[in-house]
Structure 1
Amino acid sequence: MRFLTRLFAVFLLLLASTKLIAQSTRQLLDSLKLELSNAPTDQERSLVLSDLTWHYVPVSLDTAISFGEENVGLAMSLDDPDILSQAYSDLAYAYMEKGELLGARKNYQEALRIRYKTGDSTKIYGTITNLGSVYQRDFQSDSAMVNYLKALSFFERTGNERNADFVRNNIGVIYLEMRNYPKALEILKEVAEYRKANGEDYLYASTLTNIASIHKNQKNFEKAEETYLEALEIFQNEEDDYYTSTTYNNLATLYNAQGKSDLAISFAEKGLTLAEKVGADYDYALIESNLAKSYHDLKDYRKSRAYYLLALTHFKAQNAEDDVASMYLLMSPVYAALGMPDSSAYYTSAYVDLNKKLTEQEIQQLTTDLEARYQSEQKDAAIARQQLELRTKNFQLYGSLVLAVVLGLVGYLLYSQQKLKNRQLTQEGELKVALAQIETQNKLQEQRMLISRDLHDNIGAQLTFIISAIENLKYFDPIKDTLTHRYESIANFTKQTITELRDTIWAMNSGQITMGQLSARISDYLERAGISTRGINFEFELDKSLDPNFSMVSSEGIQIYRIVQEAIQNALKYAYPSQILVTVSQRNGDFNLSINDDGSGFLETEATAGNGLFNMRKRAEELGGSLQIISAKGQGTQVILSIPDRLA
């Protein structure tokens, strides 16, 4: 199982203090604390807090996070974007090593936002790499690979071989996770040779760990053990408790794979002690799951159950749902062996339900990522246009100054001729700008068409095949009576996914959509909802003063459409209304969308905020507007989207 082994995706150490490398970890931390107490200015205090955050990660993750949060608070009071972006980056690093990936992603994105403004390309692509590491830890390999390849291209182009080495290492780990072992081994051996030749023992050890994992997966256990032990010796010499504990866990995984359960337990217990010491909660849970497997192989099912329950509790605390699902699956045979069939059936059912939920989230995330990539491409094209316009204006300015000097020297006789040349140069510049804009738009349209075609031909075809397969399985006599309702649920979900993919393809192909097209799309959705939901009256009202030919960017249209879908789905699931009314209107140039239902209503302060309410508010923010929810128990609910000056 993938959760039993920790791989090493090392990120960019952009601001590590080289003057401190020669000291031991404890001496280093004591020295930094002394520096902190004597720091004469807030700027110097922030720089020391940054080092403390970084160097406490292998010692105590909770302490590292505490210093990181203190540094972000201090940096916010300083008028220095470089210090603030580094504070966010250091805190994100601590969160990622602790396994709190949501916090890591949020802080890296804040750092990236600031660094885009300051324009430091090396730090921008370093943060892009670190975001790729977060995606990789979250098993989103495609998003991670996109970030890595973008960063690698920059570092190779600028001759930054050290940072390019980090990115190559992480790409090798992705190939390892994808089980492309020959490609992974090829890349990681190249990385290991580079690091060993440059005397980077610590990073060399991390690469050895990944190479050992490849040998283990290829059943070359002797070579895997030899490589793990070489890495372990380096981490121990570096006094790095965190990576020493993860290497102990990797060795336990190796011995479990060989059936050497007693040896696996010995190494896992050592790793457990160190993981608890440094506060590595996620790794602590990984080691517990390894111990549970060891005791299961020894047929000590009671101890196995105890460790699985502990690991399950800790994975839940980390919101590691993939690992929680794995625990459910592995616990089922343990309970069966203990003669507890009801518990075994319970965990099997829990695994099926959670796995279905994760599949739904994965499809939703895929659609969101596609939309995000499209938006990113639009932003990149806009930046390129602005840079081209700026260069053109600068060229014209300097050309005009030179021209003025020449005209003064040559005299009035050459004035008319020079003025004509200047007009020609200006026209050529304008023509180049126009051609560049057209070429950029054509490339964007081609990319939109490629993405939408892939969605339609690949994902759409696969989902249609799933529906067909499920329909056929319904007639399989041995199981059709017991599982028909589950097949129908999966088939309905898949059909809904196809509908949502078609909506996304419609928006991506359109580029620009009119108010009339958006209204027709909403009206069609309400009509389909009325057919599938008996007893509920759906109405749609469009302000007659709205211009049906008013156009907007397709991504804005799909955001508005998704808000309508989410609000109606929430009403159908929780409010049990008899009528739902959707209205689109304008007031003083503002765009207003309202979704009203006469259902049971709710108090937002008592409701548990889920992805639905969060997603609607997030979409409203991205549109530059606001979302207001008015509801009371027994009095229905009104969801209002307002976008200022949208129709002015």
Structure 2
Amino acid sequence: MKKALILIFLVSSVLFSQNKKSIDSINSIYTQGLNIPEDSILQLYKDNAENARKISYEKGIAGAYSKLSLAYSYQGIYDKSTQYGLEAVKLYEKLGLNDQVAYRYAEMGYSMKYSNMEKAQAYMQKGKSVAEAKKLDSVLKDIYNNYGVLKEIQKQLDSALYFYNKGLKIKKEQNDSIGIPYSISNLAGVYGLQKKYGKAKEYFNQSLQTRLKMEDSIGVAENYTQIGEVFMAEEKYDEAIQYIKKSLPISVEKEYRNLTQYNYKTLSDIFKNQNKADSALFYFEKYLAVKDSIHNTEIQKKIAELSIEFETEKKEKELAERELEIKQKNTLLYGSLGLAFLLGLLGYLFYNQQKLKNRQLKKESELKTALAKIETQNRLQEQRLRISRDLHDNIGAQLTFIISSIDNLKYGLKGATLKTKEKLSSISAFTSQTIYELRDTIWAMNKESITFEDLQARITNFINKASNASNNVEFTFYVSENIPANYMFTSVVGMNIYRIIQEAVNNALKYADSSSIYVEISEERDNFFIEISDDGKGFNITETEQGNGLNNMKKRAREIDGILEIVSKKNIGSSVILKISIKPTRP
């Protein structure tokens, strides 16, 4: 009630005075904590932007655009969020407000964390670079925290903890009462993923109590959901349902659609684990309805178009300013020469104009070529996304249904023989492995290029799974320190490297009877070397018939212009060595 009265007072102030102070006051309101409908929040900042425009107050316009971008992101309307965010960045850059430029880039990246991780990281890193270069701690505290969220989503938990603690340290130094509970909640989330459930609940409750005092309704909803997740991980389903249902009405009322979607999906999963099919289906249908309203192809396409339009406009503006500066210098030079050099000056001007014209024509041609290339890439990407969605939604769902059906069949066949149950378990395990393979394929299809960091994370995840499944085999994965994380592979090259490693490790587990498996990636003289070796029983290469696995590895190596060598000695072990002679391009 108190915040509503403050809001009415500020709106009245704008209507009667329209001065900079009242505009800045509205822009400084803590949006997430306002207990008023989202439509009212949007109208408030649209009116504030218009009032700032009437008095030509560009900083006020940019501030209102920033708040609109944030409000639209909470509603899951990402095209509008991106549009207002880019407009705010342009105004802040014009005004030379580096702290706001850094903050807006980072906020745009954070809002895209579920819809476009690649773009999210690019914007976030851009904002982080500006803030670090200018030593803007007031902005870095939030950027570090949000960058940690991106790392957590990508399962890079140690990196997430590193950035969360960096942000929390600055917030404590500045006594940031609003930001501290966010950092504490994020740390708690990582502890939960690390299965440190007691510590996770302790941190979440600490954050919750602070937010209840602040009347931060959305923050409270997030904490309820997070505590519910911890109980779910502990398989305390009744307690988990209790907390998720506390969060759900708040997220619905505040139109926080991302959280609403997640709450519905979590409740569906809990009831599924409790074998309550009706409730699970009810909440899953609710989840799909919200998801479809947020993530649709047209919105993603529009966000991409806005980003391209912003970058193109920025480059054209820089080019125009550069050409204008050259022309002004030439004009001053020519004016000082006088009438004695008039004929030479006119000849030079004619020559210079013709040169500029040719340069402009060349750049226009290059721009048309670039736009045509971008359009072709967009069409290819849309096709990839369509195919990957079909694979995920149709084949993925069917495989999941098969696993569920087999599990139900095993439960129902209480009198079945041990051989029958083992056969059903084998089919279930094979289907699960097929799902993992399908996810790997979808992962590669959704990307035009793959960074070495992405590939390394994927290989690490596979080796960890293999290690957990093979207790008697010790795994070692070593990556040379001189390989930059931002090396770029095409999706075809990256996927084939991953498949060759996967096949070599699986062969060692099946046939080598080894106690250790070693995987190494190194770089020498513009070549990558990937070696998978074991200390198993080995085999005679000339006497052993090569099966589909070895032939497939050689075929994949040829497809990426690589060389595959297999070395094996009986009772000593085997090695598979892949050499890629082409050097990956850097971004």
**TM value normalised by structure 2:** 0.52
1:102 aligns with 2:76: no
Instruction: Quote the offset at 1:383 in angstroms.
Output: 4.1
* CA deviation map 1:66-114 (0-9, x unaligned): 3234434545555433333322222222222233323322332343455
1:36 aligns with 2:11: yes
Distance in 2 (alpha carbons) for counterparts of 1:83 and 1:381: 25
Match of 2:269 in 1: 293
How far apart are residue 141 of structure 1 and its match? 0.9
Residue 168 (structure 2) aligns with: 192
Do the aligned partners of residues 229 and 53 (structure 1) sit closer, same or farther apart at CA in structure 2, a change above 3 Å counting?
closer
1:176 maps to which of 141, 152, 157:
152
- Alignment partner of 1:93 is 2:70: yes
Corresponding residue for residue 554 of structure 2: none
Following superposition, the deviation at residue 182 of structure 1 comes to: 1.8
Q: Which of 191, 197, 202 is the matching residue for 1:226?
A: 202
Match of 2:294 in 1: 320
1:154 aligns with 2:130: yes
Asked if the contact 2:140–2:167 (Cα under 8 Å) also holds between the matched residues in 1, the reply is no
Distance 1:296 1:378 in 2: 48
Cα deviation for residue 276 of structure 1 reads: 4.5
- Counterpart in the other structure of 1:489: none
CA distance in 1, matches of 2:7, 2:136: 29
Query: Given that residues 50 and 61 in structure 2 are in contact (C-alpha distance below 8 angstroms), is that contact kept between their aligned partners in structure 1?
Result: no
SS of the residue corresponding to residue 175 of structure 2 reads coil
Code of the aligned partner of 1:31: I
The separation in 2 between residues aligned to 1:80 and 1:206, in whole angstroms, is 32
Letter aligned with residue 164 of structure 2: L
1:242-294: CA deviation from partner (whole Å, max 9, x where unpaired):
10111100111121121011111221222234334544344234323333333
1:246/1:283 contact within 8 Å kept: yes
Specify the SS of the correspondent of 2:259: helix
- Contact 1:53 1:94 (8 Å CA) reproduced: no
Amino acid at match of 2:70: Y
1:263 aligns with 2:259: no
- Assess, with a 3 A threshold, how the Cα gap between structure 1 residues 158 and 390 changes in structure 2: closer, same or farther: farther
| Residue of structure 1 equivalent to 2:256 | 280
Matches within 5 A, 1:357-436: 361=297, 379-389=313-323
Query: Contact (CA 8 Å) 2:79, 2:303: kept in 1 or not?
Result: no
Aligned residues: CA RMSD: 5.2
Q: Distance between the aligned counterparts of 1:263 and 1:35, measured in 2?
A: 42
**What is the CA–CA distance in structure 1 between the aligned matches of 2:79 and 2:251, rounded to whole Å?**
21
Quick one: which amino acid aligns to residue 175 of structure 1?
K
Deviation at 1:387, TM superposition (A): 4.4
1:294/1:59 CA distance change after superposition, 3 Å: farther
Q: Say which SS state the counterpart of residue 251 (structure 1) adopts.
A: helix
Q: Distance in 2 between matches of 1:308 and 1:64?
A: 30
Of 31, 34, 52, the match for 1:54: 31
In structure 1, the gaps of 5 or more residues are 1-25, 322-357, 405-415, 417-421, 466-478, 480-493, 502-648
Gaps of 5+ in 2: 389-401, 403-440, 449-587
Matched, 1:111 2:88: yes
Q: After alignment, is 241-250 or 282-291 more displaced?
A: 282-291
Identity %: 17
Spell out, residue by residue over 1:295-329, the C-alpha distance to the aligned partner (whole angstroms, 9 max, x if none): 3333333333333334444x15x7134xxxxxxxx
- Once residues 461 and 249 of structure 1 are traced to their aligned partners in structure 2, the CA distance between those partners, rounded to angstroms, is 34
Deviates more, 1:278-287 or 1:190-199: 278-287
Distance 2:314 2:50 in 1: 31
- For 2:387 and 2:264, locate their aligned partners in 1 and report how far apart those are by CA, in whole Å: 41
Relative to 1, partners in 2 of residues 1:58 and 1:282: Cα closer, same or farther, differing over 3 Å? Answer: farther
Q: Provide the secondary structure at the position in 2 that maps to 1:254.
A: helix
In 1: Cα distance, 2:32 partner to 2:158 partner:
35
Q: Deviations over 1:505-550 (max 9, x none)?
A: xxxxxxxxxxxxxxxxxxxxxxxxxxxxxxxxxxxxxxxxxxxxxx
- 1: CA distance between counterparts of 2:32 and 2:303? 33
CA shift for structure 1 position 374: 7.2
- Counterpart position of 1:597: none
Secondary structure of the equivalent of 2:162?
A: helix
The correspondence for 1:129, drawn from 106, 110, 121, is 106
The one-letter amino acid paired with 1:30 is L
Q: Identify if the C-alpha distance between structure 1 residues 194 and 49 changes in structure 2 by more than 3 Å, giving closer, same or farther.
A: closer
Check 1:310–1:370 CA distance in 2 against 1; reply closer, same or farther (3 A cut): closer
**Per-residue deviation, 1:195:** 1.6
Paired residues of 1:173 and 1:184 also in contact (CA < 8 A)? yes
Pairs within 5 Å for 1:161-560: 161-313=137-289, 315=290, 319-321=293-295, 361=297, 379-389=313-323
Query: Alpha carbons of 1:398 and 1:156: their partners in 2 closer, same or farther (altered >3 Å)?
Result: farther
Cα separation, 2, equivalents of 1:124 and 1:451 = 27
User: 3-state SS of the aligned residue for 1:99?
Assistant: coil
| Equivalent position of 1:143 in the other structure | 119
Q: Aligned equivalents of 1:213 and 1:148: distance in 2?
A: 21
Q: Secondary structure at the match of 1:179?
A: coil
How many Å apart are 1:177 and its aligned residue? 1.0
Q: Is the 8 A contact 2:65 2:84 kept in 1?
A: yes
- In 2: Cα distance, 1:284 partner to 1:387 partner: 47
List per-residue Cα deviations over 1:459-496 (Å, max 9, x = no partner).
Answer: 9999999xxxxxxxxxxxxx9xxxxxxxxxxxxxx9xx
Which 10-residue stretch deviates more, 31-40 or 227-236?
A: 31-40
**Equivalenced residues, count:** 392
Q: TM-score, normalised by structure 1?
A: 0.48
| Residue pair 1:58, 1:241 contacting (<8 A) in 2 also | yes
Separation of aligned partners in 2, 1:206 and 1:183: 17
Q: State whether residues 221 and 247 of structure 2, in contact with CA within 8 Å, keep that contact through their aligned partners in structure 1.
A: yes
SS at match of 1:201: coil
SS in 2 for 1:136: coil
C-alpha deviation, 1:173, in angstroms = 1.4
Distance 2:97 2:327 in 1: 23
**C-alpha distance in 2 between matches for 1:464 and 1:309:** 23
Cα shift readout 1:350-406 (whole Å, capped 9, x = no counterpart): xxxxxxxx7xx59x969x9888877766655544444445555676789999x99xx
CA distance in 2, matches of 1:29, 1:462: 45
Change (3 A) 1:225 1:312: same
Change (3 A) 1:119 1:394: farther
For 1:413, the equivalent position in structure 2 comes to none
Partners of 1:241 and 1:258 in 2: CA distance: 26
The structural deviation recorded for 1:119 is 5.6
**Structural mapping, 1:636-647, within 5 Å:** none
The answer to whether the Cα contact below 8 Å between 2:221 and 2:248 also exists between their aligned partners in 1 is yes
